[in-house]
Every structure is written in structure tokens, then in C-alpha cells.
A = this chain, B = another copy of it.
């Protein structure tokens, strides 16, 4: 299970991706549109700012925008930023590897081999799906590109 925080982060980023051509977007607008508790979303966006996924401007007419291209932001990375490892056990995580304390022998642990398959299957999906791959976003991007011709 991913946390609500991670789901909110994804929804907020997806919203920003859809509104990319509109420039700065208010926290309160995102919160209302995606039904995310406002103050909670603030905290999430600060995290995403630290991770350099989004950018903000304060004061009147301020707001948030994406920093990176939606085609470069994978769902897997967003979830990792917020929740940590995608792997079902630490001992099969690439980025958050940790030995299981109780494990007698990791090399022959069969649960580990099975969980590795789960990790790989999960990452295959989430690390190859980017914000730009969501159809509404794609539709907008295509439209935008058409306008530039």
C-alpha cells in the first residue's frame, strides 16, 4: 500500500502537468481540484520542491509549476521520494537496500528471490511510466505541440 501522501503527490503533480501551459498554479486550486487537505498538500509540495520536481513563487500571483518535463518524471520516483522503497522487502531494494536482521542466509533465502521478482515487476511498471504518459496530459502536450507549428 502506498501512503495517501504519495497518492496526493502524484495527483498534484499530474494536475500541474495538465496545467503546464498556464504557468503558476495555486496550492489552494490544486487542493480543491484534487480534494487534498490544503495544509497537508503544502507540506507535500515543499518536499517536492526540495527534490527539485517543482518550483514555487511567493507573494501575489505566486504558485507552483513543474521544474522538470513531465516526460522525465516517473511515477516510481515520485513514490520513492515520498514513501521510500517500492520493493516489498528491504533486502531486494536497489536504492534502499538493507539486510534483513533475522535472515539466516540471504544468498539462499527463497522468500528473497520471490520478492525480487515482485520488486522487478513493480519497478518495470512504475519506473517506465511518466507523468506525460497519462492520457489527459498527453492530449494537452500534443495540442500544445500542434499550436507551435
**Chain A: interface residue total (CB-CB under 8 A):** 39
Contacts of A84 on B, CB cut-off 8 Å? 1
Contacts of A129 on B, CB cut-off 8 Å? 114
In the complex, the answer to whether B2 meets A89 with C-beta atoms within 8 Å is yes
In the complex, the answer to whether B110 meets A118 with C-beta atoms within 8 Å is no
Knowing A1-B88, A7-B89, A88-B1, say if A121 contacts B111 (CB, 8 Å): no
In the complex, the answer to whether A111 meets B10 with C-beta atoms within 8 Å is yes
Interface of A is mostly: helix
CB distance from A63 to the nearest CB of B (A): 21
Chain B residue with the shortest CB-CB distance to A91 = B7
How far, in whole Å, are A45 and B125 apart by their CA atoms in the complex?
Answer: 35
Asked if A14 lies at the interface with its beta carbon under 8 angstroms from chain B, I say: yes
